[in-house]
Structure 1
């Protein structure tokens, strides 16, 4: 969606839509229970197949295997998220291959005898690919969880795998080759445990990859352990190394299938394909002992049990060499990982996580380093302190994701348009700093600020369309060694001056600004607690009906009398109260004070009087405002229409949708809403028609020259005509002469207020009746 030339205008005209839900399909009910039933069944089947009646072994083993395989299929296509089903589909393929191996072993003559014959190659043609596909499935799960490339877990897995191969060769393969003339079959059967070790290692890495330790993960691990144990015992039995009952082996295989099915059914299986935060642990004592045993055991075996022939010697030597190389690789990789980790930590400490720009700390260090050379080289250090105008509206309207997009786009554009030795930093929120160093030249920094402003004239292409925002820039320079924090503070001060004078511009710092900041800070500290100390008080200015000349009501105005500062102008303290949020409490107090005073006046004088109270931008955004107004009306017994609430154009337009929701709720209470200072802001008929207001207050700047053929008379006539068309009443502010009064009366203005009728006074100085 293309966006216009100003974010505020766009946000005023467009309502936020709701995005379609990206939530995955819900997990079918009962799968969690079914998973634990299968897990329990794996234990029960294991016990029955080992110690139960022989007549139950074959049917129970077949039923358990088929149940586990069916659960894998159901979980893959009903529980797994569609986009993450690839590894689980491989599990289904492996289950089909294992099933084919079971069937062929049962129906092909001689396929299940021990020692094996060539007929055993038929089921192995399905079982061996089944193991490989299972390993691929586990590797796919691990890849989706995105294990850290620096995680040494996979190197440790290689160590365990090579050591397992060494032991399998020494105790399973070599003895088997000595006892039979079918080395190919013996070799395949003896290496099944090694393949199982690889499966266990892959599953273990899923746990080492960090994140959620899900029940499905532990079920997978238990299934892999059961499969490994069964294959190991089968190899021992097949090699004639020990008499292991076949029932034990089949029981372990059946238990493994049931555990794999339980893992696939459990809802937590979805977490096994979700990216997880990486936690690379330091080398623990347990892992150190494991690595030591991996190296020590082969060495002991080589010493006490030398190989029987050339083939055995070669195989053992190669495997031992692989172990040594793996350990060496682990040491080198761990050292490199440590260096990279230290570099990453240092970068995180000096760079912004979102934009990867230098942060405040690196800016401070850089400015300090430049300052040491500034005097010697005759250079000047300049900072351009940027703050995006109305950035909050972007976050409020499109969300923080789009806000982050905008920040990254701003960072990229700034970085692409500065000199190579300049520094672009993000020091927090929507604040950026461009640091410059060069020959002392006041024009240089201001020219750079102008160029930066030009960069914001072009829209930023974001996922929601082209967005145009402006920036306010503060410029501060130092021609000699200076404190970095002081220079940043000065640039920040100048930036606020740029915002105060209209935004989308730059301002250069001078010492007067520092004095203003100091005075403002003093004023802010004094304002805190002023309400509690009773320093704030209300004044009332009369509003007159032009047709009758009678008193119609009062506008309530807040005043502040400080014991040492004296009478503080509202032009000074109201903006501070607004910025700090103190206006919310002070505004609520003023509302109650004014309503209570009006109740007293209506009881003693004309019952039709109204009271008008200003509502600030902060109050409009405060969810408690409607409740406060409702309570005030109930406490004072005032009719709702006697309470006028004045809002400013600019305050409404900063967040039109939020303001409309509050205004509609207030209008539903029956109070009268007025637009204050009309004509100084947007003054748009389209937006005015959307506001539930009944009063328009014409700003004093348009009234000052009416009646004397002033330039604003045509504007006032247009406003009055528009108000009549919308059935709104008009109050003219700042009426100070009879000429202004008479002209406004002739033009059909409804109400007036100004010093012609009286200045704002405390209630004690006003006589009613």
Structure 2
């Protein structure tokens, strides 16, 4: 716990203790005032007034509310109340001239105003929702109390002859009703009801009670003891000023979160009582004077109208709540687009009338290409910003009757219906592909992201969920075709998806079950013919599917993330095998290396460097004996993150190689930024050299470029002697391919390990 936290908790505990002490002492003094001798009345009143003034000055300084204005109003009102009490004592002793006898009563008016201002500021700061039923319920309370006040206090006084003082005192309950309405609204409003709020509301009740008793005593000459009146008014003062002492007083000027609650039993009883009591009294009591009768009738009508307004607003609020709840269920919270549920409902509704109206339903399933890279680079806040921008652009590109929905992540679906001859789906897909070439203006600047789109069509004979699935299937086809394009669904894709699912399920757990094997292909020094090392290649034999080509299972492993575990296994197995071969060849033999492919996901994972270091240390291999192959396209997806890992590996002493050079970016600027020592020319270029092949100028240029940059070159896929000889003439360093050996199990490569260097060429 920090020092600031400890200090804050200590201040809060001290404030609670002082609040309780203030209430205990104040209530004890009020009880003594009621039960004690009359001689103690003046000293006790002085103590209570002093205690209250101390509390209203001490509380705000101790609790430090965000807004001190309400408490300043109470402080100013307290001074008026103290002055009024003192002048009343002087008046009772005969010390005031006759023309000043109304002054003590008149001084209470600004005190009432100050308390009213305090409550209004609290309400303005505290309320979280303008549509708060507390406003109407508080008005009901106020109208009912106003009715009772009129019937029992004001009307009788107006009917009798009163002095000026009695007339002023008869008006006090009007102020009390106003303050009670404000206090009731504070209590009934949504939000937390804490001790400071309860204390203020009890102070309002004590004030009303005291003023009613004072009015009965002074205006109607009812035999109410002065000590009882003083006790209630002083209790009000203790409570009103004491509210500032409790730490929860800070919450009275803080916005409260609105919470929708059912009407409680107590609140229901309160509303019923506030309506029935005045109406019942009106029916039972005699009419009295015409003005009194009219006023009572007006108040009763106001009560009935208020109840009617409350019922209407309650019904409207419930309808709005249901509408909001429904929208939350059927719409995406981030983009406010329809979600999968509403999309399914809409497509199902269209399907019911598609056959009769000869409509074709088209679904476009959109997936942002490399969206994860945006989240990884700039964070989810920017990713969410992009999703909202994508949603807005999609809405701009469709018709009013079309549906744009977000069904999760970076996946959107556009549904549209029209005549089959118009090819609406394909036309929109082409337009969206072009639209996504325009950058999105985000807070970090302009961002360009391509999109892969799958299009599925139906004449209404396909279930909505099946149509969404077909569009999803064709979207994956678009991605496998190279991204930034669209693909139209056909039935053969469904079979491909089913095959892919079976393959993915079978691949899970292949490492633990020992189904993977490491095959190695020799890499030969072209100048000397000696063995330089091996490239490790992963192979999979499934008990259910048999031998599965890497072309099939490697992309699935990369998409699902299984490649990280599989790649780690291949790296450890390759290092172990190389250590075994190195020991077998002896210390005097030419050092060998093993080259292992690294997936994009492994480059983004910070554990790759630790994995390499642990594997090399475990088998006592030099870092230079390990080559790690990376692809240009994979590195460029997240260059900055990849460079951090590559630089760490290079510093360790590991040799880095660019695999399949020529098939990716093939940019000198990119190649110069990568800390690589080896460039591997893709077999698609090597196949076109020797015998004046069409690819010879390209390979010749790559060799010259890499030689100038100080890199060694490995040519992959060498299958003929003509290719080998041409590459040797051009100064290529290393070669691998079927001319020398296919990739094979270690047990089948012992001849390469044991043979003499001079025989390696054979």
Q: TM-score range by the shorter chain?
A: 0.7 to 0.9
* Residue matched to 2:200: 224
* Residue matched to 2:117: 133
Q: Equivalent residues in 2 for 1:596-615 (5 A)?
A: 596-605=576-585, 608-615=591-598
Deviations 1:358-412 (A, max 9, x none): 2222222222232232222332221121112222233333333333333233222
SS at match of 1:736: coil
Which of 588, 593, 601 is equivalent to 2:568?
Answer: 588
* Residue matched to 1:161: 142
2:116/2:179 contact within 8 Å kept: no
Distance 2:28 2:425 in 1: 85
* Residue matched to 2:713: 730
1:472/1:504 contact within 8 Å kept: yes
1:45/1:64 contact within 8 Å kept: no
Distance 1:655 1:172 in 2: 82
Q: TM-score, normalised by structure 2?
A: 0.86
Deviation at 1:113, TM superposition (A): 6.6
Q: Equivalent residues in 2 for 1:564-579 (5 A)?
A: 564-579=544-559
Q: Does 2:726 align with 1:750?
A: no
Deviation at 1:231, TM superposition (A): 1.3
2:18/2:245 contact within 8 Å kept: yes
Deviation at 1:40, TM superposition (A): 2.6
Q: Does 2:738 align with 1:759?
A: no
Which of 67, 70, 73 is equivalent to 1:91?
Answer: 70
2:572/2:615 contact within 8 Å kept: yes
* Residue matched to 1:119: 103
Distance 1:710 1:556 in 2: 29
Calculate the aligned-residue CA RMSD, in Å: 3.3
Q: Does 2:625 align with 1:642?
A: yes
Deviation at 1:119, TM superposition (A): 0.8
* Residue matched to 1:681: 664
Aligned CA distance change for structure 1 residues 748 and 166 (closer, same or farther; 3 Å): farther
Aligned CA distance change for structure 1 residues 252 and 444 (closer, same or farther; 3 Å): closer
Deviation at 1:264, TM superposition (A): 6.5
* Residue matched to 1:235: 211
Q: Equivalent residues in 2 for 1:702-717 (5 A)?
A: 702-710=685-693, 712-717=695-700
Deviation at 1:764, TM superposition (A): 0.9
Q: Which has the larger radius of gyration?
A: 2
SS at match of 1:434: strand
Deviation at 1:521, TM superposition (A): 1.5
Greater mean alpha carbon deviation, residues 622-631 or residues 463-472: 622-631
Distance 1:620 1:235 in 2: 80
Deviation at 1:492, TM superposition (A): 1.2
Greater mean alpha carbon deviation, residues 523-532 or residues 58-67: 58-67
Q: Equivalent residues in 2 for 1:3-402 (5 A)?
A: 29=8, 31-47=11-27, 49-50=29-30, 55=43, 58=46, 61-62=49-50, 64-69=52-57, 71-72=59-60, 80=66, 88-102=67-81, 104-105=83-84, 117-120=101-104, 123-143=107-127, 146-147=128-129, 149=131, 151-174=132-155, 180-182=163-165, 185-206=168-189, 208-209=190-191, 213=192, 217-239=193-215, 240=217, 242-243=224-225, 244=228, 246=230, 249-263=233-247, 272-273=254-255, 276=257, 278-303=258-283, 306=286, 309-402=289-382
Deviations 1:42-85 (A, max 9, x none): 32442454357865753664354344345436756xx53xxxxx
Deviation at 1:516, TM superposition (A): 1.3
Distance 1:70 1:474 in 2: 70
Distance 1:67 1:694 in 2: 79
1:111/1:120 contact within 8 Å kept: no
* Residue matched to 2:537: 557
Deviation at 1:449, TM superposition (A): 1.5
Deviation at 1:601, TM superposition (A): 0.8
* Residue matched to 1:543: 523
Distance 1:412 1:669 in 2: 48
Aligned CA distance change for structure 1 residues 252 and 626 (closer, same or farther; 3 Å): farther
Aligned CA distance change for structure 1 residues 639 and 112 (closer, same or farther; 3 Å): farther
Q: Does 2:453 align with 1:473?
A: yes
Deviation at 1:265, TM superposition (A): 6.7
Aligned CA distance change for structure 1 residues 182 and 48 (closer, same or farther; 3 Å): same
1:42/1:256 contact within 8 Å kept: no
SS at match of 2:582: helix
Distance 1:519 1:189 in 2: 87
Aligned residues: 722
1:612/1:646 contact within 8 Å kept: yes
2:680/2:716 contact within 8 Å kept: yes
* Residue matched to 2:35: none
* Residue matched to 1:672: 655
Deviations 1:620-667 (A, max 9, x none): 334443443333233322223322222222222323343334334444
Q: Does 2:438 align with 1:458?
A: yes
SS at match of 2:194: helix
SS at match of 2:738: coil
Deviations 1:103-148 (A, max 9, x none): 64377687987999421365335323312321221222234xx226
* Residue matched to 1:410: 390
* Residue matched to 2:37: none
Greater mean alpha carbon deviation, residues 228-237 or residues 753-762: 228-237
Distance 1:327 1:396 in 2: 57
Gaps of 5+ in 1: 1-24, 81-87
Task: Name which structure has the greater RCO, CA cutoff 8 Å, separation 6+.
Answer: 1
Aligned CA distance change for structure 1 residues 68 and 547 (closer, same or farther; 3 Å): farther
SS at match of 1:758: coil
Q: Does 2:635 align with 1:652?
A: yes
* Residue matched to 2:501: 521
SS at match of 1:191: helix
Distance 1:376 1:477 in 2: 17
Distance 1:114 1:482 in 2: 98
2:15/2:62 contact within 8 Å kept: no
Deviation at 1:760, TM superposition (A): 0.7
Deviations 1:219-269 (A, max 9, x none): 331231242134124303422263325355335423422323534775x67
Deviation at 1:489, TM superposition (A): 1.4
SS at match of 1:357: coil
Deviation at 1:416, TM superposition (A): 2.7
Aligned CA distance change for structure 1 residues 34 and 198 (closer, same or farther; 3 Å): farther
Greater mean alpha carbon deviation, residues 734-743 or residues 357-366: 734-743
Aligned CA distance change for structure 1 residues 302 and 386 (closer, same or farther; 3 Å): same
Gaps of 5+ in 2: 33-39, 95-99, 755-762
Which of 492, 498, 512 is equivalent to 2:478?
Answer: 498
SS at match of 2:595: strand
Distance 2:416 2:481 in 1: 25
Distance 2:374 2:90 in 1: 71
Distance 1:420 1:316 in 2: 57
Distance 1:406 1:114 in 2: 80
